Amino acid sequence: MTITAPSTTATRRSTDPDRATIRAAGIFYLVTFAASFTALFLIGPVLHDHSYVLGAGQDTRVLVGCLLDFVNALAGIGSAVALFPVMRRYKESLALGVVISRTLEAAVIMIGVVSLVAVVTLRQDLAGTADPNALATVGRALVEVRNWTFLFGAGTMPAISAILLGILMYRSRRVPRFMPIMGLVGAPLLLTANILTVLGHNAQLSGLSGVATAPVALWELSIGIYMTVKGLKPDELNR
């Protein structure tokens, strides 16, 4: 009887001491996607209704969306922390930069979350008793704070993370090369679109913003799926 030895790749993956950590990082990436897109849908009423703070409101829906954005922020930090002990082998300063960028992204996202929760609180506590014009102005200002946090947090910091982690993944060759290339090509596009938005030459929801966001979004989604399902390729540089 002939016994066939398992493939070298399969053996390495099954004995990879980093497998659990890598899978956790991948799951965190996927959680950020699921939580952020669901949250964006749920908080829609407060974002698009300029008189939300004066009306009946859909407070439960908005608050659930805020909680999901909170989960999104925590998962972003989790993805970077989980990857740090693996990526630091290739360039510790870049790996630390990923952790810092994801943490800063989470902090800015939380400012937006607090702003929207404050709108709900104002509606519940002051609608019908305070001056409507003043209340509407404050509510709208808080929504604008959230819009700007979305640009600088979830809209800009992923581009910084894509540059840092993209370089690490490209150098280490532990994922298919096209993945980090998507991030490295998309990051400058996204940064350019966001700078134009700040300067008043572009809108956050414009076609340009959508095109500029796509490569970085695909990079994060692809790496999340790849790390969750397959882990990372064997470490050839440190063998």
Q: What is 56-70 written as a DSSP string?
A: ---HHHHHHHHHHHH
Local confidence band at 13 (pLDDT 50, 70, 90 cut-offs): very low
Q: Of 1-5, 23-27, 225-229, 230-234, where does mean pLDDT reach its minimum?
A: 1-5
Residue 238's pLDDT is what? 61
- Tell me: the pLDDT tens digits for 89-133? 999 999 999 999 999 999 999 999 999 999 999 998 877 777 888
The C-alpha atoms of residue 47 and residue 116 are separated, in whole angstroms, by 9
Q: Does pTM surpass 0.85?
A: yes
Torsion sign across C-alpha atoms 11, 169, 230, 86: positive
Local confidence band at 206 (pLDDT 50, 70, 90 cut-offs): confident
The C-alpha atoms of residue 147 and residue 55 are separated, in whole angstroms, by 21
Local confidence band at 12 (pLDDT 50, 70, 90 cut-offs): very low
Q: What ranges do the domains of the chain cover?
A: 18-229
Contacts of 221 (CB under 8 A, 6+ apart): 29, 30, 33
- Cβ-in-10-Å burial (0-12, 13-18, 19+) of 113 comes to buried
Residue 11 reports pLDDT greater than 60 = no
